[in-house]
Amino acid sequence: MRTLNNRFISFSGFLGLVLSLTSCASNNLTEAKAEIFPKKPPIVQRTITDLTPKIQLAEEPQWSPDGKQIAFMSLKNPGNEEIYVMNADGSNIKNLTNNKVKDRSPVWSPDSKKIAFLSGRDGNPEVYVMNADGSGQTNLTKNPAGDYPYIWSPDGKKIAFGSRRENNDYEIYVMNADGSNVTRITKNPGYDSVLSWSPDGQKIAFISGRDGNEENYVMNADGSNQIRLTKDQNNNAGAVWSPDSKKIAYHSSPEPFKNNGYIYVINTDGSGNTQLTDQGISQTPAWSPDGKRIAFESNRDGNSDIYVMNADGFGQTRLTTNKGRDSRPVWSPDGKQIAYECFQKEQSHICRLKV
């Protein structure tokens, strides 16, 4: 009987320990959720520099891979969008396109020697390329259908782009960097667009509506092995690769056109889909060059500001407190600064902050 009592006491103690550990685990889980989804992230004051104080409107900042320059779109005259470039400190601003029609959406080549951009100078949106000084402006796509968006391959030898050139069906194409050898790599009744090339050059992430709503897909760079990553009723967009090509961050909206939308990270095989934000609209995720942090914009505090968090969603911190909208963060190649769109004195400018 004594042995039975000892066993009962031992079991009771074990049960108590399990309950205690379960309680601790539950509390720890609650604390973890509280940290990854903070009700009000801390504000860390940063020195912010307006790089374009004398320009009427400046948007779409793109840091050159060598870190020396920032390309952007600006309105030279009302309704006339042009591509500009400036030094990373805001000096030596130059108009590169100087055309009577809209030129916008600059994208640097990996070697920082060329810039791809969108132009309507031939009557419809076409992908152009020019040297970093504005010379050698060349129409690469030369098609009456709209061609957009576009990305460089990591080795700079190819450009992938979206086009409606066949049966008005939006599909993805790849061409050589000089516009030759155009090859269609998707073929589906739903549109395929908004793409991102993996840093290792092996795969392309894209958005497709082939299954009824916008979902994230990934495929080999030649179009083979197309895999659906997200499988929900949300609209998913803005897929960006981590520097090691192992994960993809993206924005997901459960109710389009409503005040919500969160940032997720997913493995490239579709596993490990993890929600990182949960308040207001959080979008335009941008990986730091070392892959340890993600910058993004969010209106969780009532105004669109720039935030940063660890790659696992913890440590969310607000970086800007501007009364106007702050959006589209892009990291400097050394990971020490972020350029972004800032609304100053009722005009959109390009600002920079040190992280």
pTM, rounded to two decimals: 0.88
Q: Is 32 in contact with 26 (CB distance < 8 Å)?
A: no
Q: Is 97 in contact with 53 (CB distance < 8 Å)?
A: no
CA angle centred on 33, ends 27 and 39, rounded to 5°: 120
Q: What is the dihedral of CA 54, 59, 65, 67, to 10 degrees?
A: 30
Strand order from edge to edge, sheet including 293-298: 282-287, 293-298, 305-310, 317-318
Average the pLDDT over 193-198 and give the result.
93
- Within 8 A by CB and 6+ apart from 310, the residues are 292, 293, 294
Integer Cα distance of 26 and 124 in angstroms:
58
> What is the three-class DSSP state of 149?
strand
pLDDT at 26 > cutoff 50: no
For the record, the structure tokens of 81 come out as 């969008």
pLDDT (tens digit per residue) in 309-348? 999 999 999 999 988 899 999 999 999 999 999 997 778 9
Residue-level length of the chain: 355
Confidence of residue 258 (pLDDT cuts 50, 70, 90): low
pLDDT (tens digit per residue) in 70-122? 999 998 667 789 999 999 999 999 999 988 899 999 999 999 999 999 999 99
Radius of gyration of the chain (CA): 24
Q: Position of tokens 């601003």? A: 93
Helix or strand (DSSP H, E) at 297: strand 293-298
Integer Cα distance of 338 and 288 in angstroms:
9
pLDDT at 45 > cutoff 90: no
**Rounded to 5 degrees, what are φ and ψ at 186?**
-125, 150
pLDDT (tens digit per residue) in 127-167? 999 999 999 999 999 999 989 999 999 999 999 999 999 87
> What is the three-class DSSP state of 233?
coil
Average the pLDDT over 244-258 and give the result.
86
**HEC-encoded secondary structure of 17-58:** HHHHHHHHHHHHHHHHHHHHCCCCCCECCCCEEECCCCCCCE
